Amino acid sequence: MKIVIIDDNETNLILMEALARSVAPLQPVTFLDPEEGLRETLRDGADLIVIDYMMPVLDGIHFIEAIRQHRQFADVPVIMVTAADERSVRRRALEVGATDFLSKPVDTIEMKLRLTNLMRLRRAHNLLNDRAALLADEVQAATSALREAALELVTRLAQAAEFRDPETGGHIQRMARYSVVIGKALGMPSNYLNDLLTAAPLHDLGKVGIPDAVLLKPGKLDPSELDVMRGHAQIGEQLLSQSQHPLIQMACEIAGSHHEKWDGSGYPRGLRGEDIPLSGRIVAVADVLDALTSERPYKKAWTFDAAREFIVRGRGQHFCPRCVDALVGCWGEVLQVYGAFPD
């Protein structure tokens, strides 16, 4: 352990250095010049400091004040060497952060005992800090593992919904990334975008509750069947409701609102404008874009120009104007997503 000793009297410095060396495992570093001692200590650190009070230019109290301004020295023990009758000095030293005192002339046995005790205190403090750091790392690792497991489960849940309603292989990956492109253009923070990327694929989770006769019907749905199909929004919302996790809460929002329309003509609740959650408004645009530009058994894929024109025409009616503007403004990124995640 490193002990820094500062005293402008060379005889005192030699004596205290010898006493410090006799207390294993202390390794003394000495300074006659307190300003030099301060610079070197701030640069190289210390486990224990012994400082004389009465020194020119920079006395012991000002030295302690300077050291304590740095967080890494907040708990380093500091012994001040003073005359026994300097009570006011000792009180001031305690106020600025002195840990202990030695009286002049220095008693060799007393100094060795004080150094031994403070060395043990410092060692215990270091061990406590190391343990706290280790526990923090372990908590962070455990939290990361839980988040990764949760993300994997959410992803697999989204894939399960796709198995029931097979559309295109890259659909959920593309529409989730289109959603992120829109969210980013809207200025949403990174944590929101990360959750959006994972939550958006759960938009059609409710289709697991739709009967096969309706879900997999090859032709056009009649009005009663269409009502059943539209029930998937509320089913998905119910499956994801009452969670305390922000990611699942966002997925619940999306499942229940991605078929709402800006003018209030959507379902399941007929929400209008800003009453529709932003996540649902974003996914509504992204989902329609990918549905239009993907080939289905019942239709050919639209060109991206045609799909963009359709979405722009729906601005302020079907779609949130801000989301449409964000999509159009980042059209190059949209095309990159399509190229990166083909069917």
Question: Would 146 be classed as within a structural domain?
Answer: no
pLDDT level of residue 84 (50, 70, 90 thresholds): low
Residue percentage of the chain with pLDDT more than 70: 95
Is the pLDDT at 291 greater than 60? The verdict is yes
Same domain, 16 and 78: yes
Q: Is residue 161 part of a domain?
A: no
Do residue 223 and residue 298 come from a single domain?
Answer: yes
In a domain, 76, yes or no: yes
pLDDT at 150: 67
Let me know if residue 254 belongs to a domain. yes
| Pair 217, 225: CB distance under 8 Å | yes
Does 97 share its domain with 223?
no
88 and 173: one domain? no
127 versus 256: the higher-pLDDT residue is 256
Cα 264–Cα 265–Cα 271 angle in degrees, nearest 5: 35
Residues 155-167 have a mean pLDDT of 67
Distance (Å, rounded) from C-alpha 20 to C-alpha 98? Answer: 19
Query: Is the per-residue pLDDT at 301 higher than 80?
Result: yes
> To the nearest whole number, what is the mean pLDDT of the chain?
89
Return the CATH number at 221.
Answer: 1.10.3210.10
For residues 205 and 251, give the distance between their C-alpha atoms in angstroms, rounded to a whole number: 9
Residue 266's pLDDT band, with cuts at 50, 70 and 90, is very high
**Residue 303 pLDDT:** 94
Reading the block at residue 300, the tokens are: 């050919």
Q: 124 and 171: one domain?
A: no
Q: What is the pLDDT of residue 3?
A: 92
User: Residue 32's CB: how many other CB atoms inside 10 A?
Assistant: 13
pLDDT tens digits, residue range 330-340?
Answer: 999 999 999 99
For range 15-28, the mean pLDDT: 88
Q: Which two tokens stand for residue 235?
A: 């089913």
Q: What's the CATH code of the domain at 47?
A: 3.40.50.2300
> Residue 172 falls within a domain, yes or no?
yes
State the total domains in the chain: 2
Q: Is residue 149 part of a domain?
A: no
Residue 167's pLDDT is what?
A: 56
- Answer yes or no: do 123 and 187 share one domain: no
The helix (run of H) or strand (run of E) holding residue 3 is strand 2-6
Claim to verify: residue 183 and residue 225 sit in the same structural domain: yes
What is the CA angle 24-27-33, rounded to 5?
140
Tell me whether residue 94 is in a domain.
yes
Measured CA to CA, the distance from residue 60 to residue 258 in angstroms comes to: 69
| Cα within 13 Å of Cα(252), Cβ side | 13
User: Residues 40-74: pLDDT tens digits?
Assistant: 999 999 999 999 998 988 999 999 999 999 988 98
In a shared domain, residues 180 and 325? yes
Section 303-316 average pLDDT: 96
Share of the chain above pLDDT 90, in %: 58
Quick one: pLDDT at residue 283? Answer: 97
- Does the pTM of the predicted model rise above 0.85? no
Name the domain boundary from 82, 116, 133: 133
Claim to verify: residue 129 and residue 170 sit in the same structural domain: no
What is the extent of the structural domain holding 37?
2-133
Mean pLDDT of 243-251: 89
Q: What are the residues facing 78 on neighbouring strands?
A: 49
Co-location of 182 and 323 in the same domain: yes
- Answer yes or no: do 109 and 175 share one domain: no
Instruction: State mean pLDDT over 200-205.
Output: 90
Contact 197, 337 (CB under 8 A): no
The domain boundary residue, chosen from 133, 154, 183:
133
Q: What is the pLDDT of residue 164?
A: 63
Tell me, yes or no, whether 82 and 191 share the same domain: no
Evaluate whether residue 196 is within a structural domain. Answer: yes
